[in-house]
Structure 1
Amino acid sequence: MRRAASFDLPPTPTAGAAPRSDWQTLQRLAPYLWRYRWRMVAALVFLVAAKVANVGVPVLLKTLVDALAIPAGDPRALLVVPLGLLLAYAGLRFSTTLFTELRELVFARATHGAAKQIALETFRHLHALSLRFHLERQTGGMTRDIERGTRALQSLVSYSLFTIFPTLIELALVLTLLGSRFDLWFVWITLAALVAYGTFTIAVTEWRTQFRREMNELDSKAHSRAVDALLNYETVKYFNNEAFEASRYDEGLDAYRLAQIKSQGTLSLLNAGQQAIIAASLVAMLWRATDGVVEQRMTLGDFVMVNALMIQLYIPLNFLGVLYREVKQSLTDLDKMFGLLSREREVADAPGARPLDVREAAVRFEHVDFAYDPSGKKARQILFDVSFEIPGGKTVAVVGPSGSGKSTLARLLYRFYDVGAGSIRIDGQELRSVTQDSLRRAIGIVPQDTVLFNDSIGYNIAYGRPGASRAEIEGAARAAHIHDFIVAQPLGYDTVVGERGLKLSGGEKQRVAIARTLLKNPPILIFDEATSALDSANERAIQAELKSAAQGKTALVIAHRLSTIVDAHQIVVLQHGRVAERGTHAELLALGGVYARMWQLQQSQPDPVAARG
C-alpha cells in the first residue's frame, strides 16, 4: 500500500528563537499578574505586617531579658514579666505566622490564576500552529517545557514575593534598628557581610547555571526518548528492539545522572562558601556586642537582641543561593514557554478575514504550485500548476503513484499550508481570505491513518460533533457498519480504545473515523484512502454508505484502489506532481494512458486486505 505522506514531508529543522533577557521575560509576565493587582497590594500589606512583627520579636526579647534584673520580691516580677512581656512575645510570634498565612491565602488566586491563563493560552496557541511545527516537534520535550513553565511561574512568585522581597524589607528594618540604637559599626559589618555574601552567591550561581541548564536539557532529551518509545510500542515489539530502546534511555539517564552529580558538587561549594561568610560576620557582630556589654554601653538584652536579629536575618539568607538559582531557572523555564507562545503562526487568518459562505460548495484548484519547504536548501516541489474543479455536489477522485502529491491536496484544502502559487477557492472565495475556523467546519475528512483518542468509542465518534445525542452517535455508527461490533463489546460504546486506538484493528479504527465524519455532516468531504484497511466485502458495504453520505455534497476522494472510484464524476490522475490525465473512468480507460495501465495492473492482483485477513 502506498504511503504518499511519508515522501511528501522532508524533515526541516527549526531554529529556536533567541532567549530573552530576564527583564524581558518579567515584562511578558507582568500583564498576567496585573489582573490581580489589588490582591498583590493586600498581600504586600500582610507581608510588611508580618516582617514588622518578626523584627519586633527580638526587640521584645531584649526587654524581657533586661526585665529579669528586677530585685527578688518585687511584685513586678510576677505581674509585668510573665503576664505582660511573655504574652506580648507570644502574640508577636503568632502575628508573624498569621500575617504570613493571610498573605499566601490572598495571593494564591493570583498565582494559580496566572499560571492557568498562561498554560491555557499556550495550549490554544500550539493548536493554532501549523502542521509543519507539529510534524517537527518532540512531544515529550514540548510537554516538559509547558509543565516546567507553569510550575516556574508559581515558583517565581513564591520566591520573589514571599522570600526575597520580605528579606529585603526585614534587612531594611534591622539596619534601621541597629543604626538607631547602637553605633554604626553594626550596620557596616552587616552590609559588608551582605555584599560579600551576595557577590559570592551570584558569581558562583551564574557559573553553575550552565550545569543546571545542561541537566535540564538532558532530562528533556531522556524524557522525549522514553515517550517516543512508549508511543511507538508496537514498532518496538515488531523489531525486537526493547533492549535497544532501554539502552538509549539508559544512555540518556546516565548523562543526566552525571550532570546531576556535577550540579550537586557545585551546589556544595556554594553552600560551604555562604556558611563561611555568615560565620565570619556573626563572629564580628557578637564580638562587637560583647565589647559593648563589657564596657556597659550595651545591656545583656541588647546582646541577645543583636544575636536574635542576626539569626533571623541569616536564616533566609542561607537559601539565597538556592533562591537566586531557582529564580533564574524559573525565568529560563518561563522564557521557554513564552517562546512557544511567541512562535509565529505559519498559517494565520488575514486581517479582516470573513467566515466562509458556503452555497454550492464548489471547490476549485487554480494553477497551484507547492513545496513543503520552499526556503530550504533541499526544497522539493510537490505540485506543479495543478488545476481542477469539484463542482458543488459532485465527486472528484484523485489517483496516482505514491509521492505524486495526492494527500498534499487534502492538506492544502484544509489550509494546513498555504499554496506557493495559484489559489484554492470555495464558491469563489479564496481560502486565504476566510477564517480557518469556518473553513474547517465546512470540511470533513476520513484520513488514511486514523489516530483515535485514548477514550471510549462513543467519545471518539462524538468528536465529530461534540454535544451530539446518543441516538445520533449510534446512527453514525450504524451508517459506518460498526454499531454491531460496538454493542458486542462488554462495555459497548464505553469501550476504551487505548493509546492512539491501538486496541482496535485498522478496519475498526477506519470505520470509527467514517462514523465521526458522518456525524459531523459537513458540506465538503475528503476521503483519503477511506476504505484502505477494509476487506472487499466490508469495503463494498461502506462504499455504498459513503456514496449515500456524499449524495448532494462536494467530495474529494483520494484513492489507491481504482475500483472504489469508478463512479466518480471526474477522475484526476497525478504524476510527479502534475495533472497527467483527467476524465471519467470510461474515458480514461479508452485513453489507454497512465490510468488504464494502473487499472490493468490492479485487476490482475488479488485484494491485498483480503489476502492479509
Structure 2
Amino acid sequence: MSMHGGGMGPPGARPAVARGGGMRGRISSADEAAQRAENAEAPKIPHLLRRIAELFRPHRAALTVVVVLVLVGAALSVIPPLLTQRAFDDALFPTDGSGDIGEPNLTALSWIVGAMIAVFVVSALLGVWQTFLTATIGNRVMGAMRVRLFSHLQSMELSFFTRTKTGVIQSRLQNDVGGVASVLTNTVSSVLGNTVTVISAFVAMLLLNWQLTLIALVLMPFMVIAQRRVGQVRARIAAKTQESLSEMTAITQETLSVSGILLSKSFTRQKSEIERYADENRNQISLQVRQQMSGQWFFAMVSIFMSSIPAIVYLVSGWLITGGVSGITAGTIVAFTTVQARLLFPLMGLMRVALDLQTSSALFARIFEYLDLKPAITDGPDAREVPAGADAAGEPSLGRVEFDHVSFRYPDADADQRPTLDDVSFTIEPGQFAAFVGPSGAGKTTVSYLVPRLYEASSGTVRFAGVDVRDLSQESLMSHIGIVSQETYLFHASIAENLRYAKPDATDAELEAAARAANIHETIASFPEGYDTVVGERGYRLSGGEKQRIAIARVLLKDPAVLVLDEATSALDTISERVVQAALDDASRGRTTIAIAHRLSTVVAADVIFVIVAGRIAERGTHAELIEAGGVYASLYRQQAERPEVATR
C-alpha cells in the first residue's frame, strides 16, 4: 500500500522512517540521543516476576519431575563428603577404644568406595535427564513467547507499524527473546538445585562441626548486598545493550535491503552507511565488554574468600584441638573442607542466577511492554460476519460502501491541524466504479484505509454491506476486500507461491486463469521456469508492469466483492500503464471498485467521481458532468491534458 499517496499522513507530518534515523530521513542528533535514552530505560512492568513464572504454567508436570530430580541430586551431592569422613575415621584410620589407630579396614573401605561410585553414577544419570528436561522446557517457553509476541504484533493496527522501525520490532523478537533464553532454560533447575545443595551442605557442615561452620557464614550478608548492587548495574547495561542491538538490526534491515542498497549506491553513501554501522558496532562492543566485566571483581573476591576457607579451617581446627575441643578428627576436617569446596560452586551459581535475573528483567520488561500494547482496532464482543444477502429493500448489499459524516485525524497529528477527512459522506452501490481524485494530501488514500478498517474513523460511520464496520469481524471484512497498491509487495519466492498467498489451496488451473485475467500469463509462460520463477526480494527481478499484473492476479485469485486500487498505475511508464490498466479494467468488472486516481484519464469511465479537496468532497458526478461543471475536476483534467506529466497525487 502506498505510504506516500494522498492523505497517508497528516499534513506536515514527517515520514515514520525519519524518526528512526534511517537512510531515507535522518533525525537530529539531539532527537536521536533523546530516543536512545528513552529506549535504554527498561519499562516498569508490574508483577514482572509473577508474569515470568506464569510462562512456565503449561509445563507444570515436567517441572515437577525436574524439582524431584533436583532434590534427589542435591541430596546425593552431600553423601560423598559424609562417606569421606567414614572412609577416614572408620576404614583408613580406625581407632580402638583406647584411641590408638589400627590397621586399615579394607572391607569397610571397599563398601564405602563402592557406595561413593554408585552415588556419582546415579547423580550423573539424573543430571543428564534433568538437563534434557530443563532445556526442553526452557526452549519451549522461549518459543511460545516468541510466537505469542509475533501473534500480538500481527493484531496491532497499521499506525503502530508506520511509527515503529521494522528493525526495532525484529530486535524484540530475536535479540530480546533470545537474550533471556539461558535464564528460561537454566533458571528453575539452577535455583532449585543450588538452593537445595547449599542448604544441604550447610546442614552437613553443622553436623560435622558448628564452630567451623560459622567461618563460612560470617561474610554472607556482605556478599548478598554486593551482589544486589552489581545486578542493578548489569541490568542498566543490559537495557542499553539491547537498545544498541535494536539500532544495529534497524540499520541492517534498512541498508541491506534491495531498496536500501540501490539508494546508497545511487547517492554514493556506502562509506557513510558503513561508518554509521561501525559506530553502532563499536558502541555494542563497548557495552558487551562492560556487561561481561560488571561483577567480575565481585566474583573474584567471592572466589578468593571461598577458596581460602579450607586454609582458615585448618588453622581454626588447630586452635580448637589445642584448646581441648573434642570431636574434631582428621576425617571431620577432610569431610568439612570437601563439603565447603562443594558449597563454592552452587553458592556462586545462585549469585550468578540472581545477577542474570536482574539483568534479564530489563529484557523481560521490554518483551512484556510489547505484549501489553493494546491494539487500537479490535473486534467487538458481538462482531459478526459480513452479510451476503440483500438489504431491507431487497437490493443486494454485498459490495455497498457508505461513509456517513466521517471525519478522521491520524493518531500522531497535531491537535491544531485540520482533519485529514472532514465530514465526508457518500454511497457506492454494489458493482459501481467509483474514483477519488484531488490534489496531493487531500485525503484520497485515507478513504481507502477506512473502508477495510486499517484505521478507525474519528467520528461518523463507515458501513460495508449496510453494516457499521465496527460491528463486523476484521477477518470477515478484509476477506471481501482486495487491494492493489502503487508499491506492490512480492515475497522472495516463486510466482506461484506469491499468487497462492491469496489462496493457499489454489490449483495450477486457477493460477493460470487468474494470470490470464490479469494479462500476465503469456509473460510468465515465456520465463524459463514459468510459474516457478523466483521474483527476488520485493519482486526486483520483474519490471514494474509485471509486478503490478502479478499483484492484480493475486487479488483476482482472492475474488473480493470490493476492489481498492490505490494509485496502482502511477509509477509505471505509458506502455506498462496501458497494459496494467487493461488488466485492472477486466478485474473491475462485476465488483465494486474504489480507485484512487493518479492519472485522470484512467477514470473517465467511472460511474461516479469524487473530488476531494482539503479533506472534503468538493465535487461529485460523472466525468462528463464534472467537465461541464467547470470546477476543480475540469481544471485538473485540463492541466493533465495540456501537460501529461502533471499528476494529482
Give the TM-score, by structure 2 length: 0.87
User: Displacement of 1:404 after TM fit?
Assistant: 1.0
More off after superposition, 548-557 vs 366-375: 366-375
Change in Cα spacing, 1:26 to 1:513, as seen in structure 2 (3 Å) is same
Which of these residues, 474, 480, 487, is aligned with residue 512 of structure 2? Answer: 474
* Corresponding residue number in structure 2 for 1:299: 329
* Corresponding residue number in structure 2 for 1:525: 563
Partners of 2:412 and 2:273 lie apart in 1 by 35
User: Displacement of 1:7 after TM fit?
Assistant: 5.0
Letter in 2 for 1:254: R
Letter in 2 for 1:113: R
More off after superposition, 411-420 vs 298-307: 298-307
User: Displacement of 1:458 after TM fit?
Assistant: 1.4
Letter in 2 for 1:138: K
Q: How does 1:317-466 map to 2 (within 5 A)?
A: 317-359=347-389, 360=397, 361-373=399-411, 376-377=414-415, 379-466=417-504
* Corresponding residue number in structure 2 for 1:550: 588
Unaligned 5+ segments in structure 2 are 20-34, 96-101, 390-396
* Corresponding residue number in structure 1 for 2:60: 37
Change in Cα spacing, 1:167 to 1:114, as seen in structure 2 (3 Å) is same
Which of these residues, 107, 114, 120, is aligned with residue 93 of structure 1? Answer: 120
Letter in 2 for 1:519: L
Contact between 2:611 and 2:618, CA under 8 Å: does it hold in 1?
Answer: yes
Corresponding position: 1:267 with 2:269:
no
Q: How does 1:3-152 map to 2 (within 5 A)?
A: 3-4=5-6, 8=10, 10-11=13-14, 24-66=47-89, 67-69=91-93, 77-82=105-110, 84-152=111-179
User: Displacement of 1:429 after TM fit?
Assistant: 0.4
Contact between 2:198 and 2:346, CA under 8 Å: does it hold in 1?
Answer: no
Partners of 1:264 and 1:538 lie apart in 2 by 58
More off after superposition, 14-23 vs 190-199: 14-23
* Corresponding residue number in structure 2 for 1:155: 182
Indicate the SS of the match to 2:519: coil
Partners of 1:235 and 1:378 lie apart in 2 by 35
Partners of 1:349 and 1:563 lie apart in 2 by 39
User: Displacement of 1:574 after TM fit?
Assistant: 1.0
* Corresponding residue number in structure 1 for 2:279: 251
> What are the superposed Cα offsets for residues 440-473 of structure 1, whole Å, 9 maximum, x if unpaired?
0110010111122222221111111222112212
* Corresponding residue number in structure 1 for 2:527: 489
User: Displacement of 1:320 after TM fit?
Assistant: 4.5
Contact between 1:476 and 1:516, CA under 8 Å: does it hold in 2?
Answer: yes
Which of these residues, 248, 264, 267, is aligned with residue 239 of structure 1? Answer: 267
Indicate the SS of the match to 2:328: coil
Indicate the SS of the match to 1:47: helix
User: Displacement of 1:572 after TM fit?
Assistant: 0.7
Letter in 1 for 2:211: W
Letter in 1 for 2:347: L
User: Displacement of 1:390 after TM fit?
Assistant: 0.8
More off after superposition, 289-298 vs 101-110: 289-298
Contact between 2:235 and 2:362, CA under 8 Å: does it hold in 1?
Answer: no
Partners of 2:137 and 2:287 lie apart in 1 by 35
Contact between 1:370 and 1:383, CA under 8 Å: does it hold in 2?
Answer: yes
* Corresponding residue number in structure 2 for 1:200: 226
Which of these residues, 212, 232, 254, is aligned with residue 186 of structure 1? Answer: 212
* Corresponding residue number in structure 2 for 1:593: 631
Corresponding position: 1:215 with 2:241:
yes
> What are the superposed Cα offsets for residues 148-175 of structure 1, whole Å, 9 maximum, x if unpaired?
4433554223343122221111111112
Partners of 2:591 and 2:40 lie apart in 1 by 44
Letter in 2 for 1:318: M
> What are the superposed Cα offsets for residues 81-114 of structure 1, whole Å, 9 maximum, x if unpaired?
23x2222111111121211222233344433332
Indicate the SS of the match to 2:219: helix
Contact between 1:446 and 1:527, CA under 8 Å: does it hold in 2?
Answer: yes
Letter in 2 for 1:4: G
Change in Cα spacing, 1:489 to 1:271, as seen in structure 2 (3 Å) is farther
* Corresponding residue number in structure 2 for 1:503: 541
Partners of 1:593 and 1:219 lie apart in 2 by 55
Partners of 1:559 and 1:75 lie apart in 2 by 105
Partners of 1:23 and 1:292 lie apart in 2 by 52
Partners of 2:80 and 2:546 lie apart in 1 by 72
User: Displacement of 1:227 after TM fit?
Assistant: 2.1
* Corresponding residue number in structure 1 for 2:342: 312
Change in Cα spacing, 1:149 to 1:210, as seen in structure 2 (3 Å) is closer
* Corresponding residue number in structure 2 for 1:288: 316
Contact between 1:362 and 1:392, CA under 8 Å: does it hold in 2?
Answer: yes
Indicate the SS of the match to 1:387: strand
More off after superposition, 431-440 vs 4-13: 4-13
Unaligned 5+ segments in structure 1 are none
Change in Cα spacing, 1:286 to 1:479, as seen in structure 2 (3 Å) is farther
Corresponding position: 1:566 with 2:592:
no
More off after superposition, 156-165 vs 560-569: 156-165
> What are the superposed Cα offsets for residues 557-593 of structure 1, whole Å, 9 maximum, x if unpaired?
1111111111111111111111111111111111111
Contact between 2:545 and 2:572, CA under 8 Å: does it hold in 1?
Answer: yes
More off after superposition, 540-549 vs 296-305: 540-549
Indicate the SS of the match to 2:424: strand
* Corresponding residue number in structure 1 for 2:617: 579
Indicate the SS of the match to 2:256: helix
Partners of 1:21 and 1:591 lie apart in 2 by 61
User: Displacement of 1:213 after TM fit?
Assistant: 2.7
Corresponding position: 1:225 with 2:238:
no
Contact between 2:545 and 2:580, CA under 8 Å: does it hold in 1?
Answer: no
Partners of 1:137 and 1:373 lie apart in 2 by 13
Change in Cα spacing, 1:351 to 1:547, as seen in structure 2 (3 Å) is same
More off after superposition, 266-275 vs 360-369: 266-275
Indicate the SS of the match to 1:35: helix
- Number of aligned residue pairs: 605
Change in Cα spacing, 1:29 to 1:202, as seen in structure 2 (3 Å) is closer
Letter in 1 for 2:118: G
Change in Cα spacing, 1:324 to 1:376, as seen in structure 2 (3 Å) is farther
Partners of 2:243 and 2:542 lie apart in 1 by 36
Contact between 2:512 and 2:521, CA under 8 Å: does it hold in 1?
Answer: yes
Partners of 1:516 and 1:395 lie apart in 2 by 20
User: Displacement of 1:411 after TM fit?
Assistant: 0.7
Contact between 2:518 and 2:549, CA under 8 Å: does it hold in 1?
Answer: yes
Contact between 2:436 and 2:609, CA under 8 Å: does it hold in 1?
Answer: yes
Partners of 2:177 and 2:410 lie apart in 1 by 33
Indicate the SS of the match to 1:356: coil
Contact between 1:523 and 1:553, CA under 8 Å: does it hold in 2?
Answer: yes
Percent identical among aligned pairs is: 30
Partners of 1:584 and 1:335 lie apart in 2 by 56
More off after superposition, 309-318 vs 363-372: 309-318
Partners of 1:287 and 1:377 lie apart in 2 by 78
